[in-house]
Structure 1
Amino acid sequence: MPPPEPGDVINYIYLFAHEAAAGRDEGVKERPVLVIASDAMGVAVVPITTKGEARSSRSDRIPDPVARAMGLPRAGESHVVVNDVNDFDWRGHDVIDLKTGSFLYGRCPPTYFQKIVRAVQASAALITDRR
């Protein structure tokens, strides 16, 4: 199965950097994540949360129309965390299929995707290597 494309929103058990620093090797729950880079071997993703900023995270509130286009279940409450990245081999065991049988929620509109990529690059993001 080929990896998702940058801009895809997939279902994944995300491991935050503060959780990894505390010794965890698995995330707490599955959540939508935005694919910011991918190639034949691996994928880099940033988490989407409905709780806004988590701990020392920087986040960007996703506008409602963008969230709906991304297929997010709680459009009015979603944020992308831009300073925390997971990098993992494709297809890792933490990619979870939704009830639809696919791991894909939807796609991020290109203009908003570029905004998030720039924010991640500017944030000196903490990268958790899960390879």
Structure 2
Amino acid sequence: MSHEFRPGEVIYYPYLWAWQQQRGETEGRKQRPVCVVVAIRSAGDGNTHLVLLAITTQPPQAERIALEIPDIECRRAGIGDLNQSWIVVDEYNYDIVEHSWYIEPHQEILGRFSKSFVMKIGATFAKARTQSGRVKRFD
């Protein structure tokens, strides 16, 4: 039985940025912390669909939509050793756990954001979703 992913959990994942995909790259360049913002188990096939948002220490460019992660939330998420961090909400990686090349059945969870911060992430993601880029990570 694999881990039941929940929104707000933070895991390591080889995130593929949309600009990298547009250049023809197919693999993320490094493992980075990502936040599970959506985790849905399909009733039809039993697969777990994940929407993953990148966490970065690079300040966002002016045209990007990102939330600064407060220090307390970094500690809760298990990334307290990072300096100032942001969660990018205007693009995401979409993966299916049971078909993923990147997620292990018993994937280690670094930590989890508080419910209130997850709600803020979700609301900001929902607003940005119309202009967000999806990067599909499975075949």
- TM class by shorter chain equals 0.7 to 0.9
Shift of 1:103: 2.2
Task: Determine if the alignment matches structure 1 residue 53 to structure 2 residue 60.
Answer: yes
Q: Specify whether residues 51 and 25 from structure 1 end up closer, same or farther in structure 2 by C-alpha distance, changes over 3 A only.
A: same
8 Å CA contact 1:95, 1:103 repeated in 2: no
Q: Which residue is 1:127 aligned to?
A: 134
8 Å CA contact 2:71, 2:80 repeated in 1: no
The structure whose Rg is larger is 2
Shift of 1:52: 2.0
- The count of residues paired between Structure 1 and Structure 2 equals 128
Q: Which residue is 2:44 aligned to?
A: none
Cα distance between partner residues in 1 of 2:65 and 2:20: 16
Cα distance between partner residues in 1 of 2:120 and 2:17: 21
Cα distance between partner residues in 1 of 2:65 and 2:101: 27
- TM-score by length of structure 2 reads 0.82
Q: Which residue is 1:86 aligned to?
A: 93
Q: Specify whether residues 52 and 94 from structure 1 end up closer, same or farther in structure 2 by C-alpha distance, changes over 3 A only.
A: farther
Cα distance between partner residues in 2 of 1:86 and 1:53: 18
Q: Specify whether residues 94 and 54 from structure 1 end up closer, same or farther in structure 2 by C-alpha distance, changes over 3 A only.
A: farther
Q: Structure 2: which amino acid aligns with 1:82? A: V
Task: Determine if the alignment matches structure 1 residue 113 to structure 2 residue 118.
Answer: yes
Task: Determine if the alignment matches structure 1 residue 103 to structure 2 residue 108.
Answer: yes
8 Å CA contact 1:3, 1:90 repeated in 2: no
Q: Which residue is 1:19 aligned to?
A: 20
Q: Where does structure 2 lack aligned partners over 5 or more consecutive residues?
A: 42-46
8 Å CA contact 1:57, 1:84 repeated in 2: no
Match of 1:104, SS state, is coil
8 Å CA contact 2:3, 2:107 repeated in 1: no
Identity %: 26
Match of 1:39, SS state, is strand
Q: Which residue is 2:50 aligned to?
A: 43
Shift of 1:58: 2.0
Q: Where does structure 1 lack aligned partners over 5 or more consecutive residues?
A: none
Q: Structure 1: which amino acid aligns with 2:26? A: D
